[in-house]
Homo-oligomer: A and B are copies of this chain.
Amino acid sequence: MSHVHNFSAGPCILPQEVLEEASQAVKSWDNHGLSLVEMSHRSKAFVAAMEECRALTKELLELPDRFEILYLQGGASLAFLTAAMNFLPEGGQAAYADTGTWSAKAIKEAKHAGRVNVLTSSKDDKYNHIPEVADVDGDNAYLHITTNNTIFGTQYAHMPQTTAPLVADMSSDMMSRRFDPEPFALIYGGVQKNMGPAGAVMYAVDRARLGQTGRSIPSYLDLEVQLGKDSMFNTPPVFSVYTTLLTLRWLKALGGVEAIQARNEAKSGLLYGEIDRNPLFEGHAQIGSRSHMNATFRLVDDSHAATFDDAWNKANINGLKGHRSVGGYRASMYNALPLESVQVLVDVMKEFERTHG
């Protein structure tokens, strides 16, 4: 059977051994005599899995004790609202950096909770870079950033230095690189890139900062309620949480985030090297803002697109089409993508240069 090189932007590639173990658990989970998805979420076995998943998340992200972990539903799209409901006080304001489609959505939802101060935006440049953020003072409850912009292929090289705490959507680079958690009040992200199958969203919450908005929050959106129930306020997305646990175990066995970061930098280095070297291609994102997760690029001469598309399709490459708002190509190189897949893509690009250069 031919191997597919999966560059999908998300849902996306997961480790093969994780998929095999998850598949087995759907049939029959360990020695329980039942499928994982047929058992009560209050069973000892699943409660233990949820607790291990929460603890391992904290360990792998090297978060200090003040953070607590939740695995909820609704994706980052609901987290945009949840973040603002829990951290933007009644009558207060929060600062937002607009670095892409998902930042813009975060801004839209936050307006349901209070005033939003959009500090900076790279929209007029087709979101091709991460703009500088000046200090954000304490008049803002927080500064919200989107650490990696999947669609445009940009990523914060360093987190902004601000007086106000940071709230971050890390959906597409969570667990892909180390970062200093010190400035953060809240980190969240859908699991469906580096962490697991779609259906769960992770929140790392500084619990001491909750309960200060003066607002009555609906229960599902209230992070204090969710923490008070140990991430089991209602039936959790059992399969997504369990498979995330398997992926985190895989990551830990590999050496954790530091080890995967080195691999990710090798992959992105290989591909950006080729984009910069090969005269037939050009990158979308500015060099200082390039993402290690999603590389966006295009053909300098678009008239050969059909031939290039045919070539990568023949090489069993999947999911390389760029998002409609950028066009061109997007190679998503999440944690589980092997270097070999990037090499296959680079080889196709080299061969394309040889035949069409």
CB distance from A30 to the nearest CB of B (A): 13
| Interface 1/0 per residue, A1-15 and B, CB below 8 Å | 110101011111110
CB–CB B74/A192 < 8 A:
no
| Interface 1/0 per residue, A23-65 and B, CB below 8 Å | 1101100000111011111000000000000000000000000
Interface check A234, CB cutoff 8 A: yes
CB–CB A238/B199 < 8 A:
yes
CB distance from A68 to the nearest CB of B (A): 20
Residue in B2, B9, B20, B198 whose CB lies within 8 Å of A33: B2
Q: For the complex, what is the distance from the CA of A109 to the CA of B24, rounded to whole Å?
A: 38
Q: A74-B220, A235-B75 are in contact. Are A26 and B19 (CB under 8 A)?
A: yes
Q: A218-B109, A219-B77 are in contact. Are A235 and B39 (CB under 8 A)?
A: no
Interface check A240, CB cutoff 8 A: yes
Q: For the complex, what is the distance from the CA of A109 to the CA of B216, rounded to whole Å?
A: 11
Interface check A254, CB cutoff 8 A: no
Interface check A338, CB cutoff 8 A: no
CB–CB B33/A237 < 8 A:
no
Chain A contact residue count (CB 8 A cutoff)? 60
Residue in B13, B190, B199, B318 whose CB lies within 8 Å of A199: B199
Q: For the complex, what is the distance from the CA of A19 to the CA of B238, rounded to whole Å?
A: 14
User: Which residues of the other chain, B, contact A238 by a CB distance below 8 angstroms?
Assistant: 11, 197-199
Interface check A73, CB cutoff 8 A: yes
CB–CB A220/B78 < 8 A:
yes
CB–CB A237/B4 < 8 A:
no
Interface check A81, CB cutoff 8 A: yes
User: Which residues of the other chain, B, contact A199 by a CB distance below 8 angstroms?
Assistant: 73, 199-200, 237-240
Interface check A257, CB cutoff 8 A: no
Interface check A66, CB cutoff 8 A: no
Q: For the complex, what is the distance from the CA of A105 to the CA of B229, rounded to whole Å?
A: 15
Interface check A167, CB cutoff 8 A: no
| Interface 1/0 per residue, A98-141 and B, CB below 8 Å | 00000001001100100000000000000000000000000000
Residues of A within 8 A of B (CB): 1-2, 4, 6, 8-14, 19-20, 22-24, 26-27, 33-35, 37-41, 73-78, 81, 105, 108-109, 112, 190, 192, 197-200, 216, 218-221, 233-240, 243, 316, 318-319
- Cross-chain pairs A/B with CB under 8 angstroms, 17 sampled: A4-B34, A8-B39, A11-B37, A11-B238, A19-B37, A19-B38, A22-B37, A23-B24, A26-B26, A34-B318, A73-B237, A77-B234, A81-B218, A81-B219, A81-B220, A198-B237, A198-B239
Other than the known A14-B38, A26-B26, A75-B220, what 12 A-B pairs have Cβ atoms closer than 8 Å?
A: A4-B33, A12-B40, A14-B37, A73-B74, A74-B74, A76-B234, A77-B233, A109-B219, A192-B235, A198-B237, A199-B199, A239-B240
